[in-house]
Amino acid sequence: MSKAKSPANSGTIALNKKARHEYFLEDKFEAGIALQGWEVKSIRAGKVNIADTYVIVKDGEAYLLGAQIQPLLSASSHVVCDPERTRKLLLKKRELDKLIGASEREGYAIVATAMYWKRHLVKLEIYLAKGKKSHDKRDTIKERDWQRQKSRILKHSVR
């Protein structure tokens, strides 16, 4: 007997919706995260926020900055919980080389867009991204509105 995937149980833990508005997202990567035990328990409880996160590359390794994982009230008293600690990302060497090259030479930012479960592991979806100017953001909004209007017109013309 297998469990059916429902939209409510899709595995998504947290989203960074602001990233799609602020950046042109280009290359997608999937990274594991080095977590402590209390962090996994808090993530299971949904106490995570990745709204203002970004990735830096230092000494040939990638680190996640700005992610907030709030400790549970029932956490052990002997564990020191730092909700905003820097967490190491687990990537392959080839992926790290591509991220390093794009961020240092070509001026890309590395942005986290989603955190999700993949089997029993916590994964982070990261993108190489270029920042949008304000006129680009207006164009994106205008295009989205036009697509919405176009679908309404087609829906009413079919009837």
Evaluate if residue 4 carries a pLDDT over 90: no
40 lies in some domain: yes
Confidence of residue 29 (pLDDT cuts 50, 70, 90): very high
128 lies in some domain: yes
Evaluate if residue 65 carries a pLDDT over 90: yes
Q: Is the pTM of this model over 0.85?
A: no
7 lies in some domain: no
pLDDT score for 80: 77
Q: Are 83 and 69 in contact (CB under 8 A)?
A: yes
99 lies in some domain: yes
122 lies in some domain: yes
Total domains in the chain come to 1
- Per residue in 118-145, pLDDT (tens digit) is 999 999 999 998 887 777 778 888 888 8
Q: Are 47 and 81 in contact (CB under 8 A)?
A: no
- Per residue in 70-116, pLDDT (tens digit) is 988 876 667 778 888 899 999 999 999 999 988 888 878 899 999 99
- The proportion of the chain whose per-residue pLDDT surpasses 70, expressed as a percent, equals 91
- List all residues 6 or more positions away from 43 whose beta carbon is below 8 Å from its beta carbon: 13, 35, 69, 115, 122
pLDDT score for 140: 82
Percentages (nearest 5) of helix, strand, coil residues in the chain: 35, 35, 30
Nearest-10 Cα torsion for 97, 130, 47, 62: 20
Better-predicted residue by pLDDT, 29 or 155: 29
6 lies in some domain: no
Q: Are 27 and 129 in contact (CB under 8 A)?
A: no
pLDDT score for 108: 87
- The CATH number of residue 42's host domain is 2.40.280.10
For residue 107, give its domain range: 12-132
